[in-house]
Amino acid sequence: MSPEKGINIDPQTKASSSSNNKKVVYHTKDFNLWYGDNHALKDINLSFNEKEVTAIIGPSGCGKSTYIKSLNRMVELVPSVRTSGVISYSDKNILDKTFKVEDLRTRVGMVFQKPNPFPKSVFENVAYGPKIHGIRNKKVLNEIVERSLRGAYLWDEVKDRLNENAYGLSGGQQQRLCIARCMAIEPEVILMDEPTSALDPKSTLHIEELVQELKKEYSIIIVTHNMQQAARISDKTAFFLNGEVVEFDKTDTVFTNPADSRTEDYISGRFG
Amino acid sequence: MEHMNANQVQNKMSTRIRKNSIAKGLFFLSTIFGLIILVILLVRVFSQGIGWLDWNFLTGRLSTDPEKAGIMGAFLGTAWMMLVIIPVTFILGVGTAIYIELYAKKGRVQSIIQTNIANLAGVPSIVYGLLGLTIFVRLMDLGNIVLAGGLTLSLLIMPILIVSAQEALRAVPQELSEASYGMGATKWQTIKKIILPAALPGILTGSILALSRAIGETAPLTVLGIPALLIPFPEGLFDSFTALPMQIYYWTLDAVLTEEYAYLAAAAIIVLLGLMLLLNSIAIIIRNKFQQRL
C-alpha cells in the first residue's frame, strides 16, 4: 500500500482529453486538508466539467464526504480544519480568505446525506433560498416554488399541500424537496453527499432519474457508497482511498478497465 | 432444557414478580409524599385565605386595619418589576446564550465563561441581593425603586435562562443550519430564520422556570431594603414599591401579634400563585403556538 508515484495519473489531461469541448467548473490543485493532526485529504488533483455527473466513490473514511464539503467550504463548520492548495471555481480560488463563502454557496447548491427539510411548510422550504437572497415579491416566489418543485418531479405530489409541514412527506419526497430547495437558488453546480443512503430502493430510483434530468442544466458532483449507482448515473468517476485519489476517469473505464489494482479490488467488492 | 431448569424458573418467578411490585410501590410512595405535602399546603392556604379574598382585598391599599387592608400596591410592584425582568432577562440571557453557543470560538475562554455561568446558577439569592444593593441601589444611586429590584432579580435568574437557552439552541439539529448555510445564508440569517424558531419552545420553557423563581423571591428584596409598609401605589419604574412575596413575609411576621394577618398572608399567597399560573399559561400558549408552526 505504499503510495507510489504516478498513481494520481494526471487527472486533468485524462479527463479533458475525453471532452475537450466542455468547460471546467471546478479545478482542485494539490489540495490537502487536516482535521487537527489527522491528514484527511492528500494532494488532491481533480477537475470537473460543466453539465456532467461526476461520482466520487470509496470506502467509509476515505475522505470523499470531506472533499465534497470542501467544494462549498462547508467543511469549515468543523473546528480545527486546516487546508492547503487551491480549489478554484470559475477560475477563482475559493480557499482565498477574501472569497465570500455566501457567494460560493449561492452558486453551488448542496443536497445532504439525510433529507433535511426545515420544519416549515413545503412552500417555505423552497422559498427559503430566494427569500434570504432578498426576493420578496409573492408572485415571483410562487413561480420559483412551482418551477423548482416541477424540476424535482415533486409538484404533482405536493401541489395541494404546499402549506403543510414538510415533515409530513415521505423520506424520498423530503429528499426531492431538498433538491427542489437547492434548485430554487438557481445554482450552477449541485453537490450531492450520498443523497440516497437514507432512502428505500424506489425513492433511490426516483432520485437517480432526477439526476439524469438535472445534468442537462447543472453540473453535478455526487458522493456515493453505492458503486452500481455510480456506474448507472455518472459520466466520470473518482475513486478515493485513505484520503487520496487513486483513480479518476470516465466511468466506463473505471468500472471495466481500471488502471489501478486497488480500484479493481474495490469495485469487485474485495474490500470496502 | 439443558441449563434452564423449569422448576427453578418457576420458583424464582413469583419472587421476581413480587420484587417488581415492591419497586413500583416504592416509587409511587415517593411521588405521593411530595404531592400530599403540596395538597396540605394548598388546602390550608385556601381555607385560611379564600374568605379574605374579596374585591376590597384585591384593589385596596395597605392599612393597619386587617379588615380594610388590600394588596393592590404589592401586586402593582410585582407587575412593574416583571416589566423590567422579562425583557432584560430575555434579551440579555438569550443574547448571551446565542453568543456562547453559536459565535464564540470553542476554547479555554469559552469553557471558563461556561463554567462560571453554571456556577452562578447555584449562588444563593441573598448574594444577588447584596450585589444589587452594591451596584444598583448604592453605586448607581437608584435607591430601592422598581428598576433596582427588577434588575437585581434579572441578574438572579439570568444564569438559569442562559443555561436552558443554550441547551435549547444546542438541541437544534446541525443538519438544519447546514441546509441554510448551504444555500448561501449568513450566520445571522440562519440564526434568525432557522435556529431561533426551532429553539424557541425550549427557550420559553426555561423562561417559565426562571420567571417563576423571580416572582417568588423575597430574600434579595429584603437585602435591597424594599419596604413592606407602603401606602402609595407605584406608578412607574422609578417609584418605591413593595412586592407580593415581601408583603406575604411581613404579614406572616405580624401574625404573631394579630391573628388576622395570617389570613391576609394566605390570601396574598393565593394571588401570588394565581399570578404565577397566569404567566406560565401565557408562556405555554406562546410555546404551543410556535411548536405548531414548526
For residue A262, name the pLDDT band (cuts at 50, 70, 90): very high
* Mean of all residue pLDDT scores within chain A: 89
Closest Cα in chain B, distance from residue A111 (Å) = 8
- How high is the pLDDT of residue B80? 94
Answer whether residue A15 shows pLDDT above 60. Answer: no
Into which CATH architecture does domain B58-293 fall?
Orthogonal Bundle (1.10)
Are A77 and B186 in contact (CB < 8 Å)?
no
Which residues fall within 8 angstroms of residue B53, CB to CB, at 6 or more apart? B267, B270, B271
CATH of domain A11-267: 3.40.50.300
Q: Which residues of B touch A120 (CB under 8 A)?
A: 294
Q: From the candidates A65, A105, A111, which should be mutated to test the interface with B, based on the most B CB atoms within 10 A?
A: A105
Strand ranges for B127-169 from DSSP E? none
d(C-alpha A25, C-alpha B138), whole Å: 66
Work out the number of other CB atoms within 10 angstroms of the CB of residue B43: 10
- How high is the pLDDT of residue B110? 87
- How high is the pLDDT of residue B292? 60
| Residue A243 near residue A233, CB atoms below 8 Å | no
Point out the residue among A102, A110, A117 whose CB comes nearest to the CB of B186: A102
- How high is the pLDDT of residue A164? 94
- How high is the pLDDT of residue A20? 55
For residue B108, name the pLDDT band (cuts at 50, 70, 90): confident
Are A109 and B182 in contact (CB < 8 Å)?
yes
A154 by Cβ neighbours in 10 Å (0-12 / 13-18 / 19+) ranks as buried
Q: Which residues of A touch B186 (CB under 8 A)?
A: 102, 132
- How high is the pLDDT of residue B35? 95
Are B182 and A72 in contact (CB < 8 Å)?
yes
- How high is the pLDDT of residue B87? 95
- How high is the pLDDT of residue B1? 57
* Range ranked top by mean pLDDT from A126-135, B137-146, B210-219, B236-245: A126-135
Answer whether residue A5 shows pLDDT above 70. Answer: no
For residue A6, name the pLDDT band (cuts at 50, 70, 90): very low
Answer whether residue B244 shows pLDDT above 60. Answer: yes
Answer whether residue A63 shows pLDDT above 70. Answer: yes
Answer whether residue B216 shows pLDDT above 70. Answer: yes
Closest Cα in chain A, distance from residue B219 (Å) = 43
Answer whether residue A212 shows pLDDT above 50. Answer: yes
- Closest Cα in chain B to A175: B179
Average the pLDDT over each of A22-26, B274-278, B287-291 and give the range with the smallest value. B287-291
Q: From the candidates A65, A69, A128, which should be mutated to test the interface with B, based on the most B CB atoms within 10 A?
A: A128
Answer whether residue A10 shows pLDDT above 50. Answer: no
Mean pLDDT of A103-109: 94
Q: What dihedral do alpha carbons B249, B55, B146, B45 form, nearest 10°? A: 30
Answer whether residue A3 shows pLDDT above 50. Answer: no
Closest Cα in chain B, distance from residue A89 (Å) = 15
d(C-alpha B180, C-alpha B182), whole Å: 5
Are B106 and A79 in contact (CB < 8 Å)?
yes
H or E segment at A34? strand A24-35
Q: Which residues of B touch A104 (CB under 8 A)?
A: 184
d(C-alpha B253, C-alpha B67), whole Å: 17
Strand ranges for A73-133 from DSSP E? 81-89, 92-93, 108-111
Q: Which of A77, A109, A44, A22 is nearest to A247 (CA)?
A: A44
Q: Which residues of A touch B178 (CB under 8 A)?
A: 74, 77, 112, 116
d(C-alpha A76, C-alpha A98), whole Å: 15
Answer whether residue B294 shows pLDDT above 70. Answer: no
Are A178 and B179 in contact (CB < 8 Å)?
yes
Handedness of CA A241, A247, A251, A253 (dihedral sign): negative
Using CB atoms and an 8 Å cut-off, which of residues 89-118 of chain B contact chain A?
Answer: 105-106
Q: Which residues of B touch A185 (CB under 8 A)?
A: 183-184
Answer whether residue A191 shows pLDDT above 60. Answer: yes
pLDDT digits (tens, 9 = 90+) for B114-130: 999 989 988 999 999 99
Q: Which residues of A touch B110 (CB under 8 A)?
A: none
| Residue A239 near residue A58, CB atoms below 8 Å | yes
Are B183 and A79 in contact (CB < 8 Å)?
no
Answer whether residue A252 shows pLDDT above 90. Answer: yes
Point out the residue among B178, B186, B294 whose CB comes nearest to the CB of A74: B178
- How high is the pLDDT of residue A142? 96
Q: Which residues of B touch A190 (CB under 8 A)?
A: none
- Give the 3-state secondary structure of residue A241: strand
| Residue A57 near residue A64, CB atoms below 8 Å | yes
Mean pLDDT of B96-102: 93
B187 in reach of chain A (CB within 8 A):
no
Domain ranges of chain A: 11-267
Are A182 and B183 in contact (CB < 8 Å)?
yes
- How high is the pLDDT of residue A17? 43
Q: What is the DSSP letter of A169?
A: S
Mean pLDDT of B201-221: 89
ipTM associated with this complex: 0.86
pLDDT digits (tens, 9 = 90+) for B146-191: 999 999 999 999 999 999 999 999 999 999 999 999 999 999 999 9
Answer whether residue B11 shows pLDDT above 50. Answer: yes
Answer whether residue A18 shows pLDDT above 50. Answer: no
Are A114 and B175 in contact (CB < 8 Å)?
yes
The residue among A79 and A181 whose pLDDT is bigger is A181
Q: Which residues of A touch B176 (CB under 8 A)?
A: 116, 118-119
The residue among A11 and A220 whose pLDDT is bigger is A220
Closest Cα in chain A, distance from residue B32 (Å) = 39
- Closest Cα in chain B to A184: B183
d(C-alpha A237, C-alpha A253), whole Å: 9
Domain ranges of chain B: 6-52, 58-293
Q: Which residues of B touch A110 (CB under 8 A)?
A: 182
